[in-house]
Structure 1
Amino acid sequence: MKNLPILILLLFGSCVQAEKTPRPKVILTDEQLLDTVQYYTFQYFWKGAEPNSGMAPERIHIDGVYPDNDAHIITTGGTGMGLIGILGAIERGWISRQEAVGRFDTMLTFLEKADRWNGIWPHWLDGRTGRVKPFSPKDDGADLVESAFLMQGLLVVREYFKSGNESEKSIAARIDKLWKEMDWTFHTQGKEVLYWHWSPRFGWEMNFPLEGYNECLIAYVLAAASPTHAISSQAYHQGWARSGGIRATNSGGYGFPLQLRHNGAEQLGGPLFWAHYSYLSLNPKGLKDQYADYWQENVNQTLINRAWCIENQKKFKGYGENLWGLTASYSINFYDAHRAGNDTGVISPTAAVSSIVYTPEESLKVIRNLYENYGEKVFGPYGFYDAMSPEHNFFPQRYLAIDQGPMVSMIENYRSDLGWKLFMQIPEIQNGLDRLGFSYQ
Structure 2
Amino acid sequence: MTDFLLNRRSLLIGAGSALLAGSRAFADSAPSGVAQAAFLDELEQRTFNYFWETTPANGLTPDRWPSESFCSIAAVGFALTAYIIGAERGWVSRASARDRVLTTLKFFRDAPQGEGRSGFAGYKGFFYHFLDSRTGTRFKDTELSTVDTALLIAGMLACQSYFDAATPEETKLRDLVDEIYGRVDWAWAMVRKPFISHGWHPETGHIKWDWRAYDEAHFVYLIALGSPTRALGRDSYDAWASGLPEAWGSEWGQTFVRFPPLFGHQFTQCWFDLRGMADTFMAGKGIDYFENSRRATLAQRTYATVNPNGWRDYGPDCWGITASDGPADVTRVVDGKKREFHSYAGRGVGGNVWDDGTLAPYGAGSSIVFTPKESISALMYMREKFGNHLYGRYGFVDSFNTTFRLEDVKLDKGKVVPDLGWFDTDHIGIDQGPLVAMLANHRDQTVWRATRRNAHIKRALLKAGFKGGWL
- C-alpha distance in 1 between matches for 2:61 and 2:365: 20
Match of 2:428 among 392, 397, 400: 400
Question: Structure 1: which amino acid aligns with 2:171?
Answer: K
Give the CA deviation at 1:95.
0.3
Query: What's the counterpart of residue 436 of structure 1?
Result: 464
- C-alpha distance in 2 between matches for 1:428 and 1:250: 29
Larger radius of gyration: 2
Question: Structure 2: which amino acid aligns with 1:358?
Answer: F
Q: Which runs of 5+ in 2 are unaligned?
A: 1-31, 112-120, 283-287, 328-341, 405-420
Match of 1:125 among 126, 131, 152: 131
SS for the counterpart of 1:356 is: coil
What does 1:262-411 align with in structure 2 at a 5 Å threshold? 262=258, 269-292=259-282, 293-332=288-327, 333-340=342-349, 341-392=353-404, 393-411=421-439
Q: Please, what TM-score do these two structures have when normalized by structure 2? A: 0.80
Q: CA RMSD in A?
A: 1.8
Give the CA deviation at 1:315.
1.9
**Bigger shift: 315-324 or 402-411?**
315-324
Given that 1:180 and 1:228 are in contact with CA atoms closer than 8 Å, whether structure 2 keeps it comes out as yes
Give the CA deviation at 1:390.
2.0
Question: Structure 2: which amino acid aligns with 1:403?
Answer: D
- C-alpha distance in 1 between matches for 2:82 and 2:245: 33
Deviation track 1:78-125 (CA, whole Å, cap 9, x = no partner) reads 221233322111111110011112211221222123212111111111
Given that 1:329 and 1:336 are in contact with CA atoms closer than 8 Å, whether structure 2 keeps it comes out as yes
Query: What's the counterpart of residue 451 of structure 2?
Result: 423
Deviation track 1:181-229 (CA, whole Å, cap 9, x = no partner) reads 111121113721111212223211x212110211111111111111200
Give the CA deviation at 1:374.
1.5
- C-alpha distance in 2 between matches for 1:327 and 1:72: 22
Give the CA deviation at 1:235.
1.4
Counting strand residues as a fraction of each chain, which structure ranks higher? 2
What percentage of residue pairs aligned between the two structures are identical?
29
Query: What's the counterpart of residue 176 of structure 2?
Result: 174
- C-alpha distance in 2 between matches for 1:157 and 1:324: 32
- C-alpha distance in 2 between matches for 1:174 and 1:208: 31
Give the CA deviation at 1:52.
3.7
SS for the counterpart of 1:318 is: coil
Q: How many residues align?
A: 391
Alignment CA distance shift 1:234-1:317 (3 Å): same
Q: Please, what TM-score do these two structures have when normalized by structure 1? A: 0.85
Given that 1:149 and 1:278 are in contact with CA atoms closer than 8 Å, whether structure 2 keeps it comes out as no
Given that 2:267 and 2:434 are in contact with CA atoms closer than 8 Å, whether structure 1 keeps it comes out as yes
Q: Tell me if 1:414 matches 2:442.
A: yes
Given that 1:331 and 1:346 are in contact with CA atoms closer than 8 Å, whether structure 2 keeps it comes out as yes
Match of 1:35 among 27, 36, 41: 41
Give the CA deviation at 1:425.
2.3
Give the CA deviation at 1:377.
0.6
Give the CA deviation at 1:249.
7.1
Q: Tell me if 1:197 matches 2:195.
A: no
- C-alpha distance in 2 between matches for 1:336 and 1:250: 23
**Bigger shift: 75-84 or 120-129?**
75-84
Deviation track 1:215-272 (CA, whole Å, cap 9, x = no partner) reads 111111111111200111111112x12xx332147612222101x3x4xxxxxx3100
- C-alpha distance in 2 between matches for 1:212 and 1:249: 8
Question: Structure 1: which amino acid aligns with 2:137?
Answer: R
Query: What's the counterpart of residue 60 of structure 1?
Result: 65
Query: What's the counterpart of residue 257 of structure 1?
Result: 255
- C-alpha distance in 2 between matches for 1:249 and 1:434: 24
Question: Structure 2: which amino acid aligns with 1:130?
Answer: G
- C-alpha distance in 2 between matches for 1:368 and 1:233: 43
Match of 1:187 among 181, 186, 189: 189
What does 1:18-33 align with in structure 2 at a 5 Å threshold? 29-33=35-39
- C-alpha distance in 2 between matches for 1:131 and 1:440: 42
Question: Structure 1: which amino acid aligns with 2:183?
Answer: E
Given that 1:52 and 1:127 are in contact with CA atoms closer than 8 Å, whether structure 2 keeps it comes out as no
Deviation track 1:268-318 (CA, whole Å, cap 9, x = no partner) reads x31000011111101121231122221121111111111100111122221
Query: What's the counterpart of residue 13 of structure 1?
Result: none
Query: What's the counterpart of residue 5 of structure 1?
Result: none
Query: What's the counterpart of residue 12 of structure 1?
Result: none
- C-alpha distance in 2 between matches for 1:329 and 1:190: 31
- C-alpha distance in 2 between matches for 1:391 and 1:405: 27
